[in-house]
Structure 1
Amino acid sequence: MAPTIKQLKYLIALDEHLHFGKASASCFISQSAFSIAIKELETVLNVQLVDRTNKSVVITEAGRAVISQARHCIRDLEVLMSIASSEQEPLSGKLTLGVIPTIAPFLLPPLIPEVLKQFPKLQLFLREDKTAVIHEQLLDGKLDLILVALPFQMRGMTVMPLFKDPFLLACRRESRWINAGVDLASLPDESILLLEDGHCLRDHALEACHLRNSNQINRFSATSLQTLLQMVVADLGITFLPAMAKGSLIGDNSALELHPLPEQNSREIGLAWRKGSGRSGEFTKIGELLQLLHQG
């Protein structure tokens, strides 16, 4: 006897809510029926998936392994359905896209209307988070594909490079930190402001701009590009801004100025999805659309 699709979906819901009442409500069944279904699943698999107490739900180690595989099973079924659907019309049905915060506000506004215009039967869901988080969600089957900045080590993925996104030096007009020319090697100590650890943009800026002198990095950091630029406006330091963000973040702010860097300092934007996905052709179409929007 094999687990049913409903049982697997209930187990995934329990993992997401860690509460029988909330999980059963999300599945639109009674808590008693939900509990019975989880217990029956444990019986079928002959393993304890959940430790139950009066106050909390704890997923066992075996339960976590089963949940991870259950997500893949559900996604494979959805892919099966989407393959059948795509034979009739490409890019129709549900698609979940993960995007990092240093891309989403700048690339998605022109992308979404164009995607929906070309593929009106597509249901597009977006999730914004750091690269490591959406990569794990992609591996777990929670996302269909992700839009990220490269390089980033991603196992089990097909990666489609899209285009280069150059870095620009952003500073306050007549900043005390730079002279007439832009010489990164001569920047003073504590002059460079970056995002906090965990944001890939920090690592990409350090690598692409060849920043090797740790004394130049300010001990303060920001959680977003908007906050980072406010610190620059206050002349607390300079920073490196992706070119795709300059229109949205700088606008008519006369207090700021941007300088091209002397070398080709850039990050690369790319799409990634699980290797062997039956929807690779559809994902490639989205990548090609992104390339056209960037060129135009």
Structure 2
Amino acid sequence: MNLTLRQLRSFIALAETGSFVRAAEIVHVSQPALSQQIKEMEAQTGLRLVERQPRRAVLTPAGHELQAHARAVLAEMDALEQAARWREGLGGRLALGVIPTVAPYLLPVALPLIRSRNLTLELRIRESQTETVLDGLEAGRLDAAVVALPTGRAGLVEVPLFEDRFLLAGNAATLAGQGAAIRPDALDPDRLLLLEEGHCLADQALEVCALRRADTRVDLGASSLATLAGLVAEGFGFTFLPELAAASELAAAPRLALHRFADPQPARRLGLLRRRTATDDGWFTTLAEILREAGEARLARLPV
């Protein structure tokens, strides 16, 4: 049996998507070519790995077992590639995943700092919700990720970067009746606007308010903090805004007003992650230092 890394990557893509068409797009081959690779794997192993149903591909028990082995092999290969790539610290190619409530605010400050360390670095940014970013990191599609901690996932190294406190955002009239010492659990849930499901920031806001999404009457489904900030600035309720985003959103929405919560102020802890199997010859520590510096510089701009 002589399975290739290309076959293993194609098989993992098929296992994750359940679709020959989508898997072929991920690994950049035609659908017939990917189908042929899977057939060759089945011929070499003597096992039926995939059930080809009308609208999806489903792994057999043997396929699930092979998937586990394939992930382990690819993780080791990624570690070897990284060991060569990072021999001289932050250099080569870096695929970084960042969640949407961080990327537009942290990256404009962080990227010039990264470039100043190494102008030859090929940087690839992937912005997506937490679960998608973490899946990409575990699968080897990303080298590192910036998300809110803790993730609760094994096999990842988590390094804290900085604390990002939450502010209450609305307009002057909305916040006038809230009092000087605002507590999250005292807010009116009927006026609370949240990001759509899947954003960890929305889950964190509900947690500090001791609420469930069903307790809120406004089902907005907003996908960006900019949308929320613009709405609450015009008097449509209020929302939670991280300090990291505050300076940008204040500049974009002049009628936006911010108020700090009473101590202990609710906050999220942002961190940098990598796979535990990935080699750190200095690149990860360097990247964490740069992102921490960028975060602290961004937070220093807040006038509240």
| TM-score, structure 2 normalization | 0.81
Alignment of 1:177-192 (within 5 A): 178-184=177-183, 186-188=186-188, 190-192=190-192
**Unmatched segments (≥5 aa) in structure 1:** none
Q: Report the CA distance between 1:235 and its aligned residue.
A: 1.8
Worse overlay, 103-112 or 72-81: 72-81
Q: Show the counterpart of 1:255.
A: 255
Tell me whether 107-116 or 71-80 shows the greater mean CA deviation: 71-80
CA displacement at 1:197 relative to structure 2? 3.2
Deviation at 1:26? 5.5
Displacement, 1:245?
0.3
1:244 aligns with 2:234: no
Output the CA distance in 2 between the equivalents of 1:30 and 1:149.
Answer: 37
Per the TM alignment, residue 79 of structure 1 is displaced from its structure 2 partner at its CA by 2.6
Asked if structure 2 preserves the Cα contact closer than 8 Å seen for 1:177 and 1:191, the reply is no
Are residues 93 and 46 of structure 1, via their aligned partners in 2, closer, same or farther at CA, if it must alter by over 3 Å?
farther
Query: Relative to 1, partners in 2 of residues 1:70 and 1:122: Cα closer, same or farther, differing over 3 Å?
Result: farther
Query: Residue 8 of structure 1: SS of its match in structure 2?
Result: helix
Do the aligned residues in 1 keep the contact of 2:89 with 2:281 (CA within 8 Å)? no
In structure 1, C-alpha distance between the alignment counterparts of 2:38 and 2:196, rounded to whole Å: 41
Aligned length: 291
Shift in Å, 1:23: 2.4
Answer with 249-258 or 263-272: which moved more: 249-258
Conservation of the 8 A alpha-carbon contact between 2:91 and 2:120: yes
Shift of 1:180: 4.7
For residues 44 and 212 of structure 1, the distance between their equivalents in structure 2, rounded to whole angstroms, comes to: 55
What does residue 290 of structure 2 align with?
A: 289
CA pair 201-22 structure 1, distance change in 2 beyond 3 A = closer
What's 2:83 paired with?
A: 83
Instruction: Kindly indicate whether structure 1 or structure 2 has the higher relative contact order, using CA contacts under 8 Å at least 6 residues apart.
Output: 2
Whether 1:43 aligns to 2:43 is yes
Provide the residue aligned with 1:163 in structure 2: 162
Which stretch shows the higher mean deviation, 3-12 or 15-24?
Answer: 15-24
Partner residue in 2 for 1:271 = 272
1:252-293 Cα offsets, whole Å, 9 max, x none, are 533111112221321111011222321363212111111122
| TM-score normalised to structure 1 length | 0.83
Residue identity opposite 1:91 in structure 2? L
Taking the aligned partners of 1:206 and 1:21, their CA distance within structure 2 comes to 35
User: Does the aligned pair in 1 maintain the 2:8–2:70 contact within 8 Å?
Assistant: yes
Q: Is the 8 A contact 1:82 1:92 kept in 2?
A: no
1:138–1:145: 8 Å Cα contact kept in structure 2?
yes
Cα-Cα RMSD: 3.2
**Alpha-carbon distance in structure 2 between the residues aligned to 1:67 and 1:111:** 37
Match of 2:150 in 1: 151
Name the structure where strand makes up a greater proportion of residues: 1
Aligned residue identity for 1:136: D
The letter of the residue matching 2:145 is: I
CA distance in 1, matches of 2:213, 2:134: 32
Distance 1:118 1:175, change over 3 A: same
CA shift in 2, pair 1:191/1:3, >3 Å: same
